[in-house]
Amino acid sequence: MASMIIDINQLSDDPEDLDLTLDPAWFARELDGVHHAEGEGQGEAKLQVSKLGGKVQVTGHLSAHFPVSCGRCLEMAEVTVDEPFVMFFEQAADRRVVQDLELTAEDLHWRTFEGVEIDLSPILREQLLLAVPMTPLCRPDCEGLTGHLERPDPDDDDSVERVEVDGKLIDPRWNALAKLKTTR
């Protein structure tokens, strides 16, 4: 895998191609907690890196597919990303003073970096996370957990007889405790 770290001192004035492969190990590491543990991820970023004065522009295309958990049944759901990638970087010390707090569309494409290195890994991670829907689905008509297993309603459970204590119906397994309380 080509390095995801851009060393700005190594950049010439000509745009450079940077082809990155996102392999299953990368997905497992970067999307820990989001990534479906049983599934792999694959992707690539075909990028062009240009130095513009002290700033660095990274443009290109990001495509990937990776598994997450279905929001209804927790089975595997696939997320597909296929979109342009545009990001500008400037050194933290050069960051413009933001006059108002409202973020413009342009701000979303600006990042700062410290020192002489830009690590693309967290940026790519962020782009992939943005592509994950609020409720990912394993299939459009997923019926959720009820479609996979019958969950008994505890109120319909006849094996446990309710007893009345202090005017309240309670589970008899609490009865001994309730008696202790009421006879004190």
Binding site for Zn ion (CB under 5 A): 70, 72-73, 75, 138, 142
Strand partners, 80: 65
SS3 37: coil
The sheet carrying 110-113 orders its strands as: 16-22, 42-52, 55-69, 76-91, 110-113
> Taking Cα atoms as reference points, which of 17, 118, 89, 91 lies closest to residue 60?
17
Compute the distance between CA of residue 89 and CA of residue 112 in angstroms, rounded to an integer: 5
Smallest gap, in angstroms, from Cβ of residue 141 to Zn ion? Answer: 9
- Taking the least distance from each CB to Zn ion, the nearer of 75 and 78 is 75
C-beta of 64: minimal distance to Zn ion in Å? 21
Please provide the distance, in angstroms rounded to a whole number, between the alpha carbons at the two ends of the chain.
Answer: 72
Q: Please, which residue, 95 or 148, has the CB nearer to Zn ion?
A: 148
163 alpha carbon, distance to own chain's centre: 48
Which is nearer to Zn ion, 58 or 68 (by Cβ)? 68
Nearest approach in angstroms of CB 143 to Zn ion is 8
- Closer to Zn ion at the Cβ: 49 or 70? 70
Closest approach of Cβ 100 to Zn ion, in Å? 43
